[in-house]
């Protein structure tokens, strides 16, 4: 288990959010990202440039993922990557599924499918901290 502080997006205390750094891996490519832990998001979201940096090819991802809200107007496709963090996954990277959207400015979101199926998270908002650990049996 590892504990992380809430991070401000714009140096205002009202913008403190649970943002988690992870290394995403696809084949022999890896990218360091910081994503928002969003329990209200049905899926995890990856912006287009991050998928490209991982070496993903849009045309090779054939499973279309419907998005809603402000992301709903952009096509998204399922992209499976490995994710690691030295304190949370010290022995082996975890498989995460993302809705890889064509929107270049989309935020990286860790949502219910499947981040919260792989990790247990406990939020301590009053302390501006959160804990993350690999699920039991993980």
Q: Name the helix (H) or strand (E) containing 50.
A: helix 48-53
Q: Is the pLDDT of residue 138 over 50?
A: no
Mean pLDDT (whole number) for 108-135: 97
| CATH code of the domain occupying 20-132 | 2.40.70.10
Give pLDDT tens digits for 40-56: 999 999 999 999 999 99
Extract the tokens encoding 131. 């804990």
CA distance 30 to 21: 13
Extract the tokens encoding 88. 């949370």
Give pLDDT tens digits for 45-96: 999 999 999 999 999 999 999 999 888 999 999 999 999 999 999 999 999 9
Mean pLDDT (whole number) for 85-110: 96
> What confidence score (pLDDT) does residue 13 get?
66
Q: Is the pLDDT of residue 15 over 80?
A: yes
Query: By CB neighbour count within 10 A (0-12 exposed, 13-18 middle, 19+ buried), where does 98 fall?
Result: buried
* Lowest mean pLDDT, pick from 5-19, 36-50, 97-111: 5-19
Q: Is the pTM of this model over 0.85?
A: yes
Extract the tokens encoding 76. 């998204």
What residues have CB less than 8 Å from 72, skipping those under 6 apart? 66
Q: What percent of the chain has pLDDT over 90?
A: 88
Domain-wise residue ranges, the chain: 20-132
């Amino acid at each position: 288990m590892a504990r992380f502080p809430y991070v401000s997006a714009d140096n205002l205390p009202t913008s403190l959010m649970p943002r988690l750094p992870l290394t995403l891996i696809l084949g022999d490519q890896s990218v360091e990202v910081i994503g928002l832990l969003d329990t209200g998001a049905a899926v995890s979201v990856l912006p287009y440039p991050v998928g490209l940096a991982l070496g993903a090819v849009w045309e090779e991802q054939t499973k279309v993922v419907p998005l809603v809200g402000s992301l709903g107007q952009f096509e998204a496709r399922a992209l499976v990557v490995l994710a690691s963090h030295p304190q949370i996954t010290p022995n082996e990277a975890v498989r995460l599924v993302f809705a890889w959207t064509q929107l270049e400015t989309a935020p990286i979101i860790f949502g219910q499918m499947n981040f919260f199926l792989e990790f247990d998270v406990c939020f301590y908002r009053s302390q501006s901290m959160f804990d993350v650990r690999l699920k039991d049996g993980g």
